[in-house]
Structures are given as structure tokens and as C-alpha cells.
């Protein structure tokens, strides 16, 4: 499989700008912080802006449903569409999560592209049986 230069280039850039948070402990803490900010950005689309709504209820799955049927029976519970302001906030938060993920890969001498490729291969093999 051909290497994805975007992942490699991104990881290299992160490693070059990673100055203050070179400790794995700092990066782990920043990863959690970035994830919390992402969760908050998504929550704000519902609670502050209102461009998205969450309509959640108990999942009704017919007893005869197969695993393949679940894709069509289960839903995201989201209604609406993110406004530009919320979209930008969520994208920025995801970007920070990716930054610290790449930083962690760099510190642990792991290759982000290899990890994504391996995960994608496993997803293709397991298909709907992945249950991720």
C-alpha cells in the first residue's frame, strides 16, 4: 500500500513545533484536555447555539434483526446541521486532538500513517463485525 504523505508530513510538522510539551506526561494530559474541549464544542452546538439537537431514546431493535440490519436501524440521535461558527469550533477542536495524537506517536516512535493503515485493513477484514 502506498504511504499517505499527508499523515507523515503532519506528524513531522507536529514533531518540529513540539517545544513546550515534549514530556509524554504533558502530551497525555494535553490529549485529554483537547478531547474534553472537543466534547464541549459539540455540546455547545446543542446547548448554546442550538444548530444541532439531540433526540435520544431507547434503541428498539427487532429480535429478528441481523447485524447487517443495525446500520439502518440505529441512528446518531442528531438532528439539524451545524452552523459555520460551530463547524469551525468543532473542526479546530478535532485539529487539536489530531495534533496531540501525532505528538504522542512521535514521542513513542510510532508512525501515524502505519497505525491508520493497519486500522483500516482491520476494518476492511472485520467489516460490520468490528463493532467499534
Q: What is the H or E stretch that residue 96 is in?
A: helix 84-107
Q: Give the helix, strand, coil percentages of the chain, each rounded to 5.
A: 65, 5, 30
Instruction: Please check whether residue 34 is in contact with residue 97, taking contact to mean a CB–CB distance below 8 angstroms.
Output: yes
Give the integer Cα–Cα distance in Å for 101 and 106.
9
From 7-11, 31-35, 106-110, the region with the lowest mean pLDDT: 7-11
Work out the percent of the chain whose per-residue pLDDT is above 70. Answer: 95
Beta strand extents in the chain (DSSP E only): 52-54, 78-80
From 34-38, 50-54, 105-109, 125-129, the region with the lowest mean pLDDT: 125-129
Domain coordinates in residue numbering, the chain: 5-130
The fourth-level CATH superfamily of domain 5-130 is MazG-like (1.10.287.1080)
Give the integer Cα–Cα distance in Å for 60 and 96.
36
Would you say residue 71 has pLDDT above 90? no
Would you say residue 66 has pLDDT above 80? yes
Instruction: Please check whether residue 14 is in contact with residue 103, taking contact to mean a CB–CB distance below 8 angstroms.
Output: yes
Amino acid at each position: 500500500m502506498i504511504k499517505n504523505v499527508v499523515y507523515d508530513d503532519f506528524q513531522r510538522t507536529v514533531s518540529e513545533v513540539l517545544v513546550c510539551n515534549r514530556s509524554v506526561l504533558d502530551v497525555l494530559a494535553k490529549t485529554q484536555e483537547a478531547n474534553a474541549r472537543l466534547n464541549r464544542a459539540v455540546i455547545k452546538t446543542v446547548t448554546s447555539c442550538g444548530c444541532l439537537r439531540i433526540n435520544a431514546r431507547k434503541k428498539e431493535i427487532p429480535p429478528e434483526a441481523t447485524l447487517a440490519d443495525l446500520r439502518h436501524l440505529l441512528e446518531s440521535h442528531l438532528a439539524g446541521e451545524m452552523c459555520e461558527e460551530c463547524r469551525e469550533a468543532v473542526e479546530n477542536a478535532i485539529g487539536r486532538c489530531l495534533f496531540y495524537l501525532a505528538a504522542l506517536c512521535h514521542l513513542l516512535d510510532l508512525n501515524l500513517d502505519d497505525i491508520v493503515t493497519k486500522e483500516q485493513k482491520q476494518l476492511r477484514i472485520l467489516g460490520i463485525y468490528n463493532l467499534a
